[in-house]
Structure 1
């Protein structure tokens, strides 16, 4: 088929009611927002397309307001939604709560690999990823709302293989694939050279083509045939049906404002001096990140999760240690300094940009030496919840893949949640007003990390790090091993937990260097 060049409105008009639509992006990166916007406009004006089964691999909230999957926040537009993350999809939350459609979440790496499985005609994904978490059919089966629980089309099954239990995620056909590239030539070959990451554009396009579906690609620029070096072509024209030239406001590398320049360092076109990256002020969050660095070893292959853990890279940079480790992000980016906030997924001065499914191969196989991740809730069994809390359903993203494969894990977060006044001074901590919400629960509301599963493996070292206390996962649960100078064991720790933890016989003070406003001068092990 000859590739056709059309506009976004024409692309939206081709999507039929009841079809399965796969959308590729990572927050605001690689996001074909012109096409998604026109789908929304058409639905509002015509009531079509409706009853779509939508799947996206990573979170695609764009700016957290009116981009990405937020375009689909209309009753009737979706009849089923399968994803891994909704942290920036604020408009979708009410529809999930109201059971406007069944919503399922499974691990990001599984969805990434699913595109490859569909492309190659495999029956699905067989893996241990998700065992004993909310994804496990013995718990919630990935169901996020009551509509999902009432649905017979569950995206995961428990099976036995060679005498061992594992999970099977069945494959499904894709009718429409919506992806984004940087350039298209007149034949329809697609390059990604200005993108901050390479996701599963090729796999998703192949999956749709081999399902008998349609591939739509939004690009920033159209060039003459022969202008693209063949090694720059990621998606060949044989897999592309329609090319859409993006509008200036809905194309480019991202939609994020106020970040350090040059952002072209994200795709490797430019370099920034690492000294230009500002050091963090001395806060409780910095103390937490500093404590995590104490667990690092030189030459470690590491992953830093979204939110507070991302600042570990800033601490490493301040200490002159960033080049002593190899940082990675599940998006496929390796090396450099991970970008902050909703720019998560990119990195300044990356060493390499792999495809996302290839990175998850390495993660699932145990390639991560050290991972720092967030923690919204922790319970007496060592379980961690980051996927459903406080009325929100951000989902696991790559959290489950990362935590089930990493050798060493530091779960990071403040000891309590909510507005507080906690100061770092005089080589310790001073709690003037504590957060009102308890985070250490008897039982978490959603199991995103299973302490039981980790202990069964017997090969993981797991810490829970806060600004005032550090715990280590043991068979008896989280064991308190360190307390901050200035914190009172009973009043500031035990009284702020729903369960009484075991306390190490060798309980000690956290290193005073964590609480002093100058570089710690540490040397990696």
Structure 2
């Protein structure tokens, strides 16, 4: 291999040919090679090149808070097709990103592919195998019997997944897509192109992406924060070896993650004192998070997602139970304390940060103990929608790793509010619904199946739904109310607010009143089996 070249972002952008399949390593603002993507967009504006790109984003590229990511190339003529685990998201009050305008306008074929499957597709392309056989996503929007990952009519016309029979069983088959260009990011490159990740909040999947391109004769561009002399990186610190890298672009001002220039605790260089983490203020959301925490078992490895459940690690801190479980998140952190808001996807004080493709293998095979996730809608079969809602899809962003995580998880706790927009009050250990929400979240049929209740029952998965007014479980006979909050009327506030008939457990219990008091609840965790 020729010596790795150090080029400017604009010089690197000129190397990308028309019609290329380009894979980008990023998770929203985390690890996003934004300087290179910006240069590609600027070159297209100036020269009309490169044209007709297909881009692959295993997790997501960019956000709505300063890291434009895919929006740099979301221009008619520049972008022809996109496959992503998720897309830039933002508040419903904000104008949608350019990529969402292209998706909803049916300008290009767009697909929401589970993040783990997208990484699997890279691995198969690297080994020159025909594609991915998987059961992840069956009976969800991923399945061609539903939407086949398609986000618009143009995508429906160009299917990327089929159902096949192999060895007497039905599988989903994703043919390999061979990328010609990889745009990845690291902290440091030496003069030979070796890459290390010492300031990164996650490694993500750059090695798999670089391998898929290198093994097929393509171009690997690495954006880094700084350049080091050849031979100065310790071999155990090198994540992507220089034999896989063609071009280095130095961008010293790259953000560590969204709205975060650099925090050494995110990259594991220091550990923050546990007392420095804020615990949630007392409100209804905290009551839900507390009840979710009661489902944990001592010693479990627990995946955690966005929403109410993201506060559960801080509930454990407040209760003096930090360390009782090990948190595992799709961007690769194991242990520590998963972070919130703009820093979601990172953790402080992690025990390890592994590459995302390996983390998704762990999830897809069900090696972890349980997952704490959110819901937008639940339907009569127990299916959950987290990925599509109404006319402003950029608010939900897509499913990311949700489908990979839930496919074989032994236990899942979904959390959320029973209705949207309800006026809720807490007083003296009771919940009062002062004004009912205008939008029901327990519906006859979810707008999009992100998680299949039917498949969960068939596989024997344990599924719990925690809301402010009740706890429900998915049983073979249907969704069943097993607990109700103090102060809540079962008929008026629960059964009448669901579009479908809920079953009621014959031994209906009250949710603990302690959940609805500001003081710690004295959390005790069961022992793992």
TM over 0.5: same fold? yes
- Write the distance in 2 (CA, Å) between the matches of 1:156 and 1:342: 33
Q: Is residue 384–residue 452 contact of structure 2 (8 Å, CA) maintained in 1?
A: yes
- Mapping of residues 84-103 of structure 1, within 5 Å: 84-88=85-89, 90-91=96-97, 92-103=99-110
Structure 2 partner of 1:313: 313
Structure 2 partner of 1:399: 402
- Write the distance in 2 (CA, Å) between the matches of 1:163 and 1:288: 44
Structure 2 partner of 1:372: 372
Q: Is residue 59–residue 88 contact of structure 1 (8 Å, CA) maintained in 2?
A: no
Cα distance 1:399–1:85, how it changes in 2: closer, same or farther (>3 A)?
same
- Whether 2:197 is the aligned partner of 1:192: answer yes
- Write the distance in 1 (CA, Å) between the matches of 2:170 and 2:412: 24
Cα distance 1:439–1:103, how it changes in 2: closer, same or farther (>3 A)?
same
SS in structure 1 at match of 2:281: coil
- Whether 2:165 is the aligned partner of 1:160: answer yes
Structure 2 partner of 1:254: 257
1:273-309 Cα distance to aligned partner (Å, 9 max, x none): 1111111111121111111111111000100111221
- Write the distance in 2 (CA, Å) between the matches of 1:209 and 1:66: 27
The one of 152, 173, 177 aligned to 2:178 = 173
- Write the distance in 2 (CA, Å) between the matches of 1:464 and 1:226: 53
Structure 2 partner of 1:109: 116
The one of 233, 242, 246 aligned to 2:238 = 233
Structure 2 partner of 1:478: 479
Scaled by the length of structure 2, what TM-score is found? 0.95
1:220-252 Cα distance to aligned partner (Å, 9 max, x none): 00011121111111111111110000142xx14
Structure 2 partner of 1:331: 331
- Whether 2:220 is the aligned partner of 1:218: answer no
Q: Is residue 62–residue 88 contact of structure 1 (8 Å, CA) maintained in 2?
A: yes
Q: Is residue 112–residue 151 contact of structure 2 (8 Å, CA) maintained in 1?
A: yes
- Whether 2:94 is the aligned partner of 1:83: answer no
How far did residue 64 of structure 1 move? Answer: 4.3
- Write the distance in 1 (CA, Å) between the matches of 2:130 and 2:7: 34
SS in structure 1 at match of 2:363: helix
- Whether 2:62 is the aligned partner of 1:57: answer no
- Whether 2:40 is the aligned partner of 1:39: answer yes
- Mapping of residues 341-420 of structure 1, within 5 Å: 341-391=341-391, 392=393, 394-418=397-421, 420=422
Q: Is residue 282–residue 424 contact of structure 1 (8 Å, CA) maintained in 2?
A: no
1:480-512 Cα distance to aligned partner (Å, 9 max, x none): 111111112222222222112111111121111
Structure 2 partner of 1:445: 447
1:341-392 Cα distance to aligned partner (Å, 9 max, x none): 1312110100001111111111111112111101001101101001111221
1:410-431 Cα distance to aligned partner (Å, 9 max, x none): 011111123x431222101122
Q: Is residue 18–residue 52 contact of structure 2 (8 Å, CA) maintained in 1?
A: yes
Structure 1 partner of 2:299: 299
Structure 2 partner of 1:277: 277
What stretches of structure 1 of length at least 5 have no aligned partner? Answer: none
Q: Is residue 364–residue 405 contact of structure 1 (8 Å, CA) maintained in 2?
A: yes
SS in structure 1 at match of 2:291: helix
SS in structure 2 at match of 1:263: coil
- Write the distance in 2 (CA, Å) between the matches of 1:436 and 1:256: 34
RMSD of equivalent CA atoms: 1.5
- Write the distance in 2 (CA, Å) between the matches of 1:318 and 1:377: 30
Cα distance 1:68–1:340, how it changes in 2: closer, same or farther (>3 A)?
same
Structure 2 partner of 1:139: 146
- Write the distance in 2 (CA, Å) between the matches of 1:232 and 1:382: 45
- Write the distance in 2 (CA, Å) between the matches of 1:232 and 1:44: 38
- Write the distance in 1 (CA, Å) between the matches of 2:318 and 2:162: 46
SS in structure 1 at match of 2:432: strand
Q: Is residue 66–residue 258 contact of structure 2 (8 Å, CA) maintained in 1?
A: no
Q: Is residue 76–residue 100 contact of structure 1 (8 Å, CA) maintained in 2?
A: no
After superposing the two structures, state which structure 1 stretch, 80-89 or 100-109, moved more. 80-89
- Write the distance in 1 (CA, Å) between the matches of 2:407 and 2:316: 25
How far did residue 42 of structure 1 move? Answer: 1.7
- Write the distance in 1 (CA, Å) between the matches of 2:131 and 2:420: 39
1:4-63 Cα distance to aligned partner (Å, 9 max, x none): 100101111221221101000111111110001111112222222221111100022234
SS in structure 2 at match of 1:15: coil
The one of 409, 427, 430 aligned to 2:429 = 427
- Write the distance in 1 (CA, Å) between the matches of 2:203 and 2:397: 23
How far did residue 65 of structure 1 move? Answer: 5.5
What stretches of structure 2 of length at least 5 have no aligned partner? Answer: 91-95
The one of 450, 453, 456 aligned to 1:454 = 456
Cα distance 1:98–1:63, how it changes in 2: closer, same or farther (>3 A)?
closer
Q: Is residue 31–residue 62 contact of structure 1 (8 Å, CA) maintained in 2?
A: no
- Write the distance in 1 (CA, Å) between the matches of 2:498 and 2:39: 49
- Write the distance in 2 (CA, Å) between the matches of 1:272 and 1:30: 22
- Write the distance in 2 (CA, Å) between the matches of 1:375 and 1:133: 15
